[in-house]
Chain A
């Protein structure tokens, strides 16, 4: 079976992740789930909408996974991002790593989400009561 799961989906089911990362060579699994927060700088968020350049996003996610597998000798990696409109508390991204010892998967997990946020072409729009904002678009 492939070591990597790289996907862009409409809906994330967080209950699948343990079996997806489970591996007989692993002694630990570390997972990060990004979710929709209700308040941004004191303003109430109604929902978030995610848009992607899918072909390129999958390529960039694949590069991140390969780099992490090589650097931390991971047995399994998952990077799955949701697109579309997401309500408060909904999971929007899940990344995880499975490795022989815990240090590797903790470090890898942090690398996976931090790099995804820097390089993967996915865009997030915040819907407030009276306005919408493309996150990070302006300084």
Chain B
């Protein structure tokens, strides 16, 4: 499972994609993904907000994740 990273999320992790290999436990829901990255990278807990996009749409915490989904971490946006 690949997770795309943008903005400060990319700086926190140190790369533009996070990979969960076949051998590892992979997150099954949006909430699990948020919890797993916050454990691995506690800096995520300091952000004003943390959203996840599944197939380029904002996804609620209860949405299920599958390996074929395009998943992205969306830190607080600041366009304009």
Nearest Cβ on chain B to A100's Cβ, whole angstroms: 27
Contact in complex: A139, B48 (CB < 8 Å): yes
Instruction: Count A interface residues, CB 8 Å.
Output: 29
B79 contacts partner chain A, Cβ-Cβ < 8 Å: yes
User: Given A53-B56, A56-B72, A123-B77, A136–B48 Cβ distance below 8 Å?
Assistant: yes
Taken together as a complex, chains A and B put the C-alpha atoms of A57 and B77 apart, in Å, by 11
**Could you say which of B3-11, B19-27, B28-36, B60-68 contacts chain A?**
B3-11
Tell me which of B46, B53, B78 contacts A56 (CB under 8 A): B53
Q: Please indicate the chain A residues that have their CB under 8 angstroms from the CB of B46 in the complex.
A: 138
The A/B interface has a contact count, at CB < 8 Å, of 80
* B interface, CB within 8 angstroms of A: 4, 6-8, 11, 46-48, 53, 56-58, 72, 74-80
**Sample of 18 A–B contacts (CB below 8 Å):** A51-B6, A52-B6, A53-B6, A53-B56, A117-B80, A119-B58, A120-B77, A121-B79, A123-B6, A124-B78, A124-B80, A134-B7, A134-B11, A134-B78, A136-B48, A136-B78, A137-B7, A138-B46
